[in-house]
Amino acid sequence: MSEPIISVDGLSVRFPVGRSGFWGGKQRLLHAVDGVSFDVARGEVLGLVGESGSGKSTTGRAILRRVDASEGTIRFKGEDITHKTGEEVRRLRRHMQLVFQDPYGSLNPRQSVLEIVAEPLLVHGMIDRISDARDQVVEFLDLVGMPPDAVDRHPHAFSGGQRQRIGIARALALRPDFIVADEPVSALDVSIQAQIVNLMQELKDELGLTYLFIAHDLSVVRHISNRIAIMYAGRLVEIADRDAVYETPMHPYTKALLSAVPIPDPAVEKQRQRIVVQGEIPDPVDPPPGCRFASRCAYRQDRCVEESPELRDVDGQQVACHFAEQIAAGDLVAR
Amino acid sequence: MASVSDVGLTIGRTANKSRTRSFLGELWQDKAGFIGFAFLVILLVVATLAPLIAPYDPASQSLVDRLQPPAFAGGTSAHLLGTDNLGRDVLSRIIHGARVSMLVGVAVVFLSGTFGVVMGLVAGYKGGRTDSIIMRVVDTQVAFPGLLLALVILTVVGPSVPTVILVLAINGWMVYARVTRGTVLSVRESEYVEAAEIVGARPRRIIFKHILPNLSAPLLTLGILEFARIVLAEAALSFLGLGVQPPQTSWGLDVATGRDYIFNSWWLVTIPGVAIALTVLSVNMFASWLRIQADPLEREKRFAAGQGAV
């Protein structure tokens, strides 16, 4: 593929969560993201999947420089942006934008659609007054499938799907190259989800965008993604081409996730064996030394508890599991 | 050139006229708000034109006519609202007192409100050390008895209406800072504030365009409650002899001096008291309409309800 537009190397994000002990001993840290590396090629859609608290949103926000990376580097078009601050970050925002999860919370109830969509243009000095952007805003609204008379209305006049379209129009206003979509459809009705995913697909083709598409559900990203990365408890456990992830999942966690995706065929669905994951997610403040998934893994061995697996190449897929080959070959049986 | 600017002017005027009309039209929908607004307009006119309207000089004494009851309670039509212990016409005093009371109330709410809200916005948005410093100053000043501070300043500087305003403003800004900071803390976590940051808006724009408008409802309510409190606080200072100085007068001063005669001349306390109560009530009714009007969600609801009725 062509040169990566985003390149993340060894990214870790830790949040301080107060001090241990009465006299304020050691600063305790929550390990939200831990040593994550991946590239996103220009024009590609990378699906980032994981459950709540797996660090997928934090990864997205670290790339946008909304949260600071504790370790690692983030490159945008080859330029190291990890330590950029203030005005430099502001300029970066013209090239990378975010689509929010909650279309109800992410639009200011007191602004009209015109103000919402034109605000990015105003704050970057591309227009002098909000009213100057009227024609542009109508164009953007048309692009996302909204009627021109939406311009003067307020967000509460619209349904969730329509609001999400407005949110997308706002993200597009600066004509960015790269968009982080943070679970853009998980707050919407199932019937609307497909519409929004299709819209994003069309916009990508039309405007030549690149997405990091975050979701907690493999079925949503299947349609739009070229590659899929799976996160668990702050770590990347598997990253591979879309079809490989769906057809030959390597990591036990990926297998479990896939088995939770319903298949729209009752006969197949009935015969399928569902992997129900038992146990608890490890404490992010005090993560275990070994594999993060070990506490819930059906294939767990002694080595998994002691040694943390690195992401490595197995049959063209990248997997962070010591026993990926054995599991794939059927040499290791689930308990 | 001239004709072009003339046209612009006329357009501007017609736009203004229709805006005023639609404002009054919408206000008419809310009867309580309309009554409140009308009362405030009348009060403002009366206060401005006080010397022309008042039947007597508010300071002229006439010991022969002292303590006359109001006309509706057995008095004469010469003094519609009766006279006080020095024979001064109560109606004239109310009309002139409206000036000082309104001036002090509005000016103090404006000054302390502006300062307190700005402090609260900065503390809540910046957080960290800035927040700690501002809020500790607030705590310290809240812990310090306000009346004592007021007395000290007024004795040093000397009592006058501007000093009363300043003293009450210095004593009153903390509550705005606290309320604002608390609300900012919750609003700044909202996604639309994050969205504005991601889009690249600078802090000043985020504070004034995204956070402040969403604080207007609690702040408006607080401002009105404070207005009532300030009118009474000015009365307390005047009562202690450190507020408004005779021959100037205010409603609070009249309530305070009338207290000595409460058992045999009830109107001396009641009439200025009713004036204060009616003013506060009117401000309340008008403000509650304004608050709904300022909220796009409420507006749309009302609009929808109106459509449904037709």
- Residue A140 is predicted with a pLDDT of 93
Report the percentage of chain A scoring pLDDT > 90: 40
Instruction: Report if residue B19 sits inside a domain.
Output: no
A23-27, A164-168, A300-304, B112-116: lowest mean pLDDT where?
A: A23-27
Task: Kindly give, in sequence order, each residue whose CB lies less than 8 Å from that of residue A297, ignoring residues fewer than 6 positions away.
Answer: A252, A253, A291, A304
Respond yes or no on whether ipTM tops 0.90.
no
> Residues A219, A224, A227, A229: is their CA dihedral positive or negative?
negative
B57 touches chain A (CB under 8 A): no
Partner-chain residue, chosen from A66, A97, A108, that has the shortest CB–CB distance to B192:
A108
> Residues B140, B141, B142, B148: is their CA dihedral positive or negative?
positive
Half-sphere exposure for B253 (CA within 13 Å, toward CB)? 25
For residue B83, the cross-strand partners are B89
Q: Rounded to whole angstroms, how far apart are CA atoms A120 and B94? A: 54
| Residue B30 predicted with pLDDT over 50 | yes
Say how many residues make up chain B. Answer: 310
Residue in A88, A100, A106 to test binding to B, most B beta-carbons within 10 Å: A106
Partner-chain residue, chosen from A94, A100, A154, that has the shortest CB–CB distance to B200:
A94
The predicted model gives B243-256 an average pLDDT of 84
Encode burial over B82-118: b for 16+ CB neighbours within 10 A, e otherwise. bbbeebbbbbbbbbbbbbbbbbbbbbbbebbbebbbb
A10-14, A218-222, A272-276, B117-121: lowest mean pLDDT where?
A: A272-276
Number of domains forming the structure of chain B: 1
Instruction: Report if residue B12 sits inside a domain.
Output: no
Instruction: Report if residue B90 sits inside a domain.
Output: yes
pLDDT band at A142 (very low <50, low <70, confident <90, very high): very high
Q: Rounded to whole angstroms, how far apart are CA atoms B254 and B239? A: 9
The CATH number for B87's domain is: 1.10.3720.10
Q: List, for residues A297-329, the tens digit of each pLDDT value.
A: 888 888 888 888 988 888 889 999 998 888 888
DSSP secondary structure code for residue A184 in this structure? T
Residue B195's closest chain A neighbor by CA? A106
The domain in which residue B172 lies consists of 25-309
- Distance in angstroms between the alpha carbons of the first and the last residue of chain A: 40
Instruction: Report if residue B111 sits inside a domain.
Output: yes
Residues of B in Cβ contact (< 8 Å) with A156: 296-297, 300
Instruction: Report if residue B13 sits inside a domain.
Output: no
The predicted model gives B118-146 an average pLDDT of 91
State the DSSP H helix or E strand holding residue A215, giving kind and residue range, or none if neither: strand A210-215
Residue A62's closest chain B neighbor by CA? B198
Q: Rounded to whole angstroms, how far apart are CA atoms A285 and B309? A: 58
| Residue B21 predicted with pLDDT over 80 | no
Q: What radius of gyration do chain B's Cα atoms show?
A: 24
Contact A123 B198 (CB under 8 A): no
| Residue A285 predicted with pLDDT over 80 | yes
Which domains are delineated in chain A? 6-95+176-329 (3.40.50.300)
Q: Rounded to whole angstroms, how far apart are CA atoms A222 and A47? A: 8
Encode burial over B119-136: b for 16+ CB neighbours within 10 A, e otherwise. bbbbbbbeeeeebeebbe
Q: List, for residues A101-133, the tens digit of each pLDDT value.
A: 988 889 988 889 999 999 999 999 888 888 888
Size of interface A-B (CB pairs under 8 A): 66
Residues of B in Cβ contact (< 8 Å) with A118: none
Instruction: Report if residue B14 sits inside a domain.
Output: no
Give the SS3 label for residue B138: helix
Instruction: Report if residue B20 sits inside a domain.
Output: no
Neighbours of A103 (CB within 10 A): 27
Contact A100 B191 (CB under 8 A): yes
Partner-chain residue, chosen from B198, B202, B210, that has the shortest CB–CB distance to A108:
B210
Instruction: Report if residue B1 sits inside a domain.
Output: no
The answer to whether the beta carbons of residues A173 and A93 sit under 8 Å apart is no
The predicted model gives A28-51 an average pLDDT of 90
Give the SS3 label for residue A105: coil
Tokens of A95: 């090239």
Half-sphere exposure for B210 (CA within 13 Å, toward CB)? 29
